[in-house]
Structure 1
Amino acid sequence: MAGTAVYGGANLLAGGATEAEASEDISARLTGGEGHDLKGASTPRVTELTPFRDKLPIPPTLKPSNRGTTEVRLVEKNVRLHSQLPATRMWTYEGYFPGPTIEARRGQKVRLAWRNELTGTIPVKGVFVEPQGPPPGYPALNTPGSDGAKERPEVAALTAWTSVHLHGGRQHAISDGVPDSGVTRGSAQLAEYTNDMAAAHLFYHDHAMPVTALNVMAGLFGNYIVRDEEEDRLHLPCGRYEIPLAITDVNFDTDAQGRIDGRLLAKRVQTEPTVPGVMTSALHFQGPYTMVNGRVWPYLDVEATAYRFRVVNASNARPYTLALVDEKTGKSLKGAILVIGTDLGLLDKPVVIDDTFTLTSGERADIVIDFAAFRGRRLKLVNVAPGTADAPPAPAGTPAPAAGVPYPQVMQFRVGLGRHRAYAAPKRLDPRFRHLSASDIPKNAVERFVLLSLDPMGTPTVMELQEAPAGTKTGKGVVQIALPGKTRTFRVLGRHFEDPANFYAAVGSWEKWTFISVGPVTQHIQHPMHIHLMNFQVLARHTVDGTAFDTALGGTTRPITVKDSVPIATSESGWKDTVNLMANSMVTIAGQFGTETGRFMYHCHILDHEDEGMMRPLVVMPPQVLTLQNMMRKMMNAPGKPDSRDGGMPPMDHGTMG
């Protein structure tokens, strides 16, 4: 039937709309966009790619209809990612990589039908390779090609199963991209987005479990912009002076002569021997090449004036510590980047970045660069490799293969010769914004603790903690934390995606979460933690002594101690939905849930970790329903009832009142 949307095979008309209103040709609503018709090689020719050879593509803009349903097709397309490469087979939204930039106004309800029209198997080759160099063996990831490894048959057999998540959005759980409720070819996921939020840069991407990393690598992500009147009044750079920058890393396979053939390669370093029928333990993916808007190391011609860049780290796992460098002198241009917003909207005032800013997977930054002072110059945006305890970071733009950054270049800006006035940024941005302090958090806010560590097999895992009764002894599944003023004892409730839900929350409630990451001192793993439906701010960061946690025991042998305070970076000082956690550290955030309800998720946004179970459910209910839910759980755990060890219901964590 024409003009219908399909969800799980059922024909639906959105909100009683007529068939003529229900669906329309999306091409009529796609505007702008450029640089997608790149010409280039038809066969593999090179073993190295040339930086800054190709122009930055800009995705077209899609403004969905206010009436009925706007249909977005998921289709296969051959996309050229660099002019020296043959075209790459990819899965896309409407044939664009990244997908169209969807733009909506605050309060505008948008109904989209994400129609899966993908055919064949996934266009990603998966391999496990042996580590190289010192543990954990990252240098094996620094080059293209499969290194003789056999293709993973379980990846080669995958057909399209998709579930679209609007990251940072306000939507009921049924529209949130339920990770184990994907759709197959011929069906569509019907979603309604309320956009009941301040102006912000969100992004949409596939969220199907356990293939999110592969589906996103195949091409399934795009930008989503919410605008409002407060932002309009600021007259920030707009039109051709406002550009989304989606940063991702990528790797490619090679032919028999070692020439890069353009095929997407999910190469991961194996850390344990292969066991037939069991997923191999492996480092998360990191590719040697950086793409911006789907082009490897592009350039952008800019006028000598101010531009607003909406930057998102859409990579599987790679963190980007970004600096702007003068190509002629090789020196960082300190103070050239102005941060005006974070994940979920504008700050109260602009803040100058002294040197670098870091984005981990899922994080966004709203920045302004005024090129007026750089007429006729060429500037590079580069990824600064992290330093270690034994060595400081290398100068910006310097290759650091041992740190997993063989190619630091991200993109190039070519500044024109025209004369423009220096940009005068607004002194005040969003008058609604205020920095939260501990005293701003309601006294009845629910408090939650989540521990991140390794399981006995060395796989990263997320552990939900519930306060234990006084007198509980240390041992298996028991965690003690020496917090300021008090040592607290917790029991581990849930560890895996498949475990029962423990975290239940009320609509609109304030909550305070503490994430603690522990592990060996030699481990440098990071976990960007994303909470669906919660706007939060970072309250505090500390280092911790993680050696107190015994991986084999699944608990602590002595209390985890909190150590030094760590400054909160400018790039994470506003409203957020994703927060990074370094190894052996603790971060405390506080925020408020929206008015939407259902079974949401919180998880590590390293997509390989998410797929491997580092994700847990979070159920948001109307408060009256939550009261009844609490009563039922208490009934199931009353004296004489079977407890979770006997197959009954586990105790639910409603959180601790702060």
Structure 2
Amino acid sequence: MTGKHSRRRFLSMATGTMAGVAVTSAAFYSATELMRANAAENGGFDGVSSPQYTDLTPFKDKLRQPPTLAPKHDGITEMEMVNQTVRLHSQLPPVPMWTYAGHFPGPTIEARRGERLRFAWTNKLRGTLPVKAVYVAPDGPPPGLHPYNVAGSGGAAERPDMAALTPWTAVHLHGGYQHAISDGQPDDAVTPGSSQLTEYTNEKAAHLFYHDHAMPVTGPNVLSGLAGSYLVRDEREDALGLPKDDYEVTLSLADINFEKDAQGRLEGRILYKRIAAAPASSPDANPPTLAFEGPFTIVNGVVWPYMDVEARAYRFRMVNNSLTRQFILALLDEATGKPLPGAVTVIGTDGGLLGEPQPAGETISLMPAERVDVVIDFSVFAGKRLRFVNTIPGVPAGSPVPDAGVGRPEVMQFRVGRNAAPKYRVPRKLSAAFRPLTAKDVPADAVERFVGLIVDKFGMPALQELQEVASGTKTGPGIVQLELDGKLRTFRGVANYFEDRTNFYAASGGFEVWTFLNAGPIPIPHPIHIHLIDFQLLQRNALKGTIDTATQSTAQPLTLGAAQPIAPEESGWKDTVLVPGNSMVRVAGRFGAQTGRFMYHCHLLDHEDDGMMRPVVIMPPAVLTVQKRQMALMGSSTGMSDDMPGMKM
């Protein structure tokens, strides 16, 4: 069944008396009908029922599309989280998963810009975590990543804390503008039998996505299946004539691993394998670990799928739903093994369409949570087979690089039909409202925030919130200095962990500039996500110097090196930004009108779960004034500073 026919079938079903998840009045409807109506067509390719294979064949199974959910404007739409077995490859037995409405990925929700929607996310999950979690030892000196390149636990014992984990869920609409009460707070999750009620305002046409956000189990919950896409459309985008219906395809990319049985056969249970970087500090503590990566790539819930495409233009809405893996995608011609520069045109980023289309480079980078909207015109590739592969800079595209954790570069294959349509021309103007931001566009009263991305004394990555202090402050523990724009700026670290006191308070609608300093001794790239704000990259520079692990201070001021490029896929509005190791990144944007306690964090989900997440409280400006005065009073009576980070008005 084609994607177009499937979508029409669901939409027509949703208008009948058995409305499924569509809402016709102020009433609740179960998503069970959606699960039953679409289970066969979205998860029903044939395959083995017991372990038989030690490896999986790439491009054996066809890409599938999740069903489309078009909720009505009034009332409440209920989405149930339920246990389901899902076939991820025909050579793999069905895999037990936690899902939204029985599908992995979850149903693609479609909304219209300006349409206010309400959801009840109902936790009906049963039992304990369906994935198996283990720690394994590195196989040599750093990077010691070879355990990531193979399936199976190698006999490592299952983690008892994860084996006993019961469902605790909080749904976050990533990239959405909603009050904090609807944002999926990491410590406001619900247990089975309860619902999380949310209201979404859908203020921009963009590719958002929803996923679990419960602290500290976001990683295993998402790996278990709790993620799906959310598309917001509007009339301006509709009028552009971009590829649509069968020719608009959402691609959810992720990596995954599977346990093996005693005979070395893939047994069909998802494996959450992390490498222990050092011994645990005590019997009650988990060891410091490297984040999860898996040897297999899944696209829309199928391992290494193929897609039959006509020789015409397609629009692909891509999202990286991995826990930690970066995809640096190259499109190859299978016959030659050579990349196809110029074949991919970037038309949008996290926050919606660009002003004008941009030709992609030879590769497209996607860190976890990043989205990119692209057009590929297959009319010039009639009769060919193309494939997306994951690459490593400096290595020929399509080559395995085990030492970098990419043992299997395959992602997906395109099988192009022979009858070529006329060449498609992407509209020259995509969004009249978009324009690039520069430093000159930053208002004089914009709030500045500085955050260090560091490694703490336990060897774990952390956020170091930095409060600017007098220039004459002596260096010492917790003091970080930075030479920026010809000035020496001095900061004091005031928080590192999720549980530390709140320091960042912001005005709703306020314009802000955030500077991230990735100066830890280990050059880990971090994708940083800030809730309730779309921003643009002002600059990215190499950063010289280190914030010491033991003292969380600089012995010498950090200084900037050469400017680093901003790729087409990150040149628009963003909500997640890559901060490479040994770099400084500055972003600027305006918070939404909504209010409450929000988060900013690394979107490597294992880092987030390990505590690399901090709050920012957004208040109406008048309320923030009262808060500032109150904190000044508290500072004068307790010795605390009355100049807290982000309190500039």
TM-score range, shorter chain: over 0.9
CA distance in structure 2 between the aligned counterparts of 1:69 and 1:643, rounded to whole angstroms:
49
1:221 maps to which of 193, 217, 227: 227
The answer to whether 1:253 aligns with 2:252 is no
Q: Show the 5 A alignment for 1:281-320.
A: 281-320=288-327
In the other structure, the counterpart of 1:204 is: 210
The answer to whether 1:271 aligns with 2:272 is no
CA distance in structure 1 between the aligned counterparts of 2:38 and 2:360, rounded to whole angstroms:
31
Whether the 8 Å contact between 1:337 and 1:368 is mirrored in structure 2 is yes
Change in Cα spacing, 1:19 to 1:540, as seen in structure 2 (3 Å) is closer
2:26 maps to which of 21, 25, 33: 21
CA distance in structure 1 between the aligned counterparts of 2:626 and 2:559, rounded to whole angstroms:
38
Whether the 8 Å contact between 1:203 and 1:221 is mirrored in structure 2 is yes
Q: Which amino acid aligns with 2:581?
A: A
Whether the 8 Å contact between 2:259 and 2:270 is mirrored in structure 1 is yes
Which shows bigger deviation, 361-370 or 23-32? 23-32
CA distance in structure 2 between the aligned counterparts of 1:419 and 1:655, rounded to whole angstroms:
59
CA distance in structure 2 between the aligned counterparts of 1:396 and 1:154, rounded to whole angstroms:
40
The answer to whether 1:572 aligns with 2:570 is yes
Deviations 1:374-399 (A, max 9, x none): 1111000010124xxxxxx2211111
Q: Which amino acid aligns with 2:380?
A: A
Deviations 1:351-377 (A, max 9, x none): 111310101001000000000011111
Deviations 1:257-313 (A, max 9, x none): 111111010101101113311121000001010000011000000000000000000
Q: Show the 5 A alignment for 1:174-573.
A: 174-197=181-204, 199-274=205-280, 275-386=282-393, 393-520=394-521, 523-547=522-546, 549-573=547-571
Whether the 8 Å contact between 2:508 and 2:619 is mirrored in structure 1 is yes
In the other structure, the counterpart of 2:644 is: 652
Partner SS state of residue 587, structure 2: strand
Deviations 1:591-610 (A, max 9, x none): 00001100000000000000
Question: What is the CA-CA distance between 1:484 and the residue it aligns to?
Answer: 2.2
Q: Which amino acid aligns with 2:462?
A: T
Q: Which amino acid aligns with 2:586?
A: T
The answer to whether 1:613 aligns with 2:616 is no
Question: What is the CA-CA distance between 1:554 and the residue it aligns to?
Answer: 1.2
> Which runs of 4 or more aligned residues in structure 1 lie more than 3 Å from their structure 2 counterparts after TM superposition?
25-35
Question: What is the CA-CA distance between 1:91 and the residue it aligns to?
Answer: 0.1
Partner SS state of residue 462, structure 1: strand
- Structure 1 segments unaligned to the other structure (5+ residues): 1-17, 387-392
The answer to whether 1:161 aligns with 2:160 is no
Deviations 1:67-124 (A, max 9, x none): 1100000000000111000100000000000000000000000000000000000101
Deviations 1:325-361 (A, max 9, x none): 0011101011000000000100011111131010100
Q: Show the 5 A alignment for 1:141-160.
A: 141-160=148-167
CA distance in structure 2 between the aligned counterparts of 1:497 and 1:524, rounded to whole angstroms:
22
Question: What is the CA-CA distance between 1:44 and the residue it aligns to?
Answer: 0.8
CA distance in structure 2 between the aligned counterparts of 1:473 and 1:343, rounded to whole angstroms:
41
In the other structure, the counterpart of 1:61 is: 68
CA distance in structure 2 between the aligned counterparts of 1:240 and 1:490, rounded to whole angstroms:
53
Deviations 1:394-441 (A, max 9, x none): 211111111110000100000011220001110100000000011111
Partner SS state of residue 221, structure 2: helix
Partner SS state of residue 574, structure 1: coil
Whether the 8 Å contact between 1:201 and 1:225 is mirrored in structure 2 is yes
Deviations 1:192-239 (A, max 9, x none): 000122x10000000000000000000000000000111011010000
2:582 maps to which of 575, 584, 598: 584
In the other structure, the counterpart of 1:630 is: 628
Question: What is the CA-CA distance between 1:39 and the residue it aligns to?
Answer: 1.5
Deviations 1:592-635 (A, max 9, x none): 00011000000000000000100000111000100000000000
CA distance in structure 2 between the aligned counterparts of 1:276 and 1:651, rounded to whole angstroms:
41
Partner SS state of residue 480, structure 1: strand
Q: Which amino acid aligns with 1:21?
A: A
Change in Cα spacing, 1:29 to 1:50, as seen in structure 2 (3 Å) is closer
Which shows bigger deviation, 145-154 or 88-97? 145-154
Change in Cα spacing, 1:28 to 1:258, as seen in structure 2 (3 Å) is closer
Whether the 8 Å contact between 1:466 and 1:655 is mirrored in structure 2 is no
CA distance in structure 1 between the aligned counterparts of 2:466 and 2:372, rounded to whole angstroms:
31
Partner SS state of residue 606, structure 2: helix
Q: Which amino acid aligns with 1:480?
A: Q
Whether the 8 Å contact between 2:543 and 2:583 is mirrored in structure 1 is yes
Whether the 8 Å contact between 1:125 and 1:265 is mirrored in structure 2 is yes
In the other structure, the counterpart of 1:15 is: none
Q: Which amino acid aligns with 2:644?
A: M
TM norm structure 1: 0.93
Question: What is the CA-CA distance between 1:545 and the residue it aligns to?
Answer: 1.2
CA distance in structure 2 between the aligned counterparts of 1:272 and 1:655, rounded to whole angstroms:
39
- Structure 2 segments unaligned to the other structure (5+ residues): 1-22
1:118 maps to which of 114, 125, 131: 125
Question: What is the CA-CA distance between 1:27 and the residue it aligns to?
Answer: 6.1
Q: Which amino acid aligns with 2:225?
A: G
CA distance in structure 2 between the aligned counterparts of 1:343 and 1:301, rounded to whole angstroms:
27
Partner SS state of residue 555, structure 1: coil
Whether the 8 Å contact between 2:24 and 2:74 is mirrored in structure 1 is no
C-alpha RMSD over aligned residues: 1.6
TM norm structure 2: 0.94
Deviations 1:18-71 (A, max 9, x none): 996221244677898954212111111111110000000101110112111000
CA distance in structure 2 between the aligned counterparts of 1:140 and 1:36, rounded to whole angstroms:
30
Q: Which amino acid aligns with 1:430?
A: S
% same residue: 56
CA distance in structure 1 between the aligned counterparts of 2:582 and 2:301, rounded to whole angstroms:
34
Whether the 8 Å contact between 1:32 and 1:61 is mirrored in structure 2 is no
In the other structure, the counterpart of 1:600 is: 598
Whether the 8 Å contact between 1:35 and 1:56 is mirrored in structure 2 is no
2:77 maps to which of 70, 73, 80: 70
Whether the 8 Å contact between 1:303 and 1:416 is mirrored in structure 2 is yes
In the other structure, the counterpart of 1:642 is: 638
Change in Cα spacing, 1:452 to 1:655, as seen in structure 2 (3 Å) is farther
CA distance in structure 2 between the aligned counterparts of 1:359 and 1:541, rounded to whole angstroms:
17
CA distance in structure 1 between the aligned counterparts of 2:150 and 2:233, rounded to whole angstroms:
41
Whether the 8 Å contact between 2:113 and 2:202 is mirrored in structure 1 is yes
Q: How many residues align?
A: 624
Whether the 8 Å contact between 1:321 and 1:384 is mirrored in structure 2 is yes
CA distance in structure 1 between the aligned counterparts of 2:644 and 2:48, rounded to whole angstroms:
58
Q: Which amino acid aligns with 2:504?
A: F
Deviations 1:119-152 (A, max 9, x none): 0001011100010133031111110111121100
CA distance in structure 2 between the aligned counterparts of 1:208 and 1:354, rounded to whole angstroms:
36
CA distance in structure 1 between the aligned counterparts of 2:25 and 2:203, rounded to whole angstroms:
27
Partner SS state of residue 493, structure 1: strand
Partner SS state of residue 569, structure 2: helix
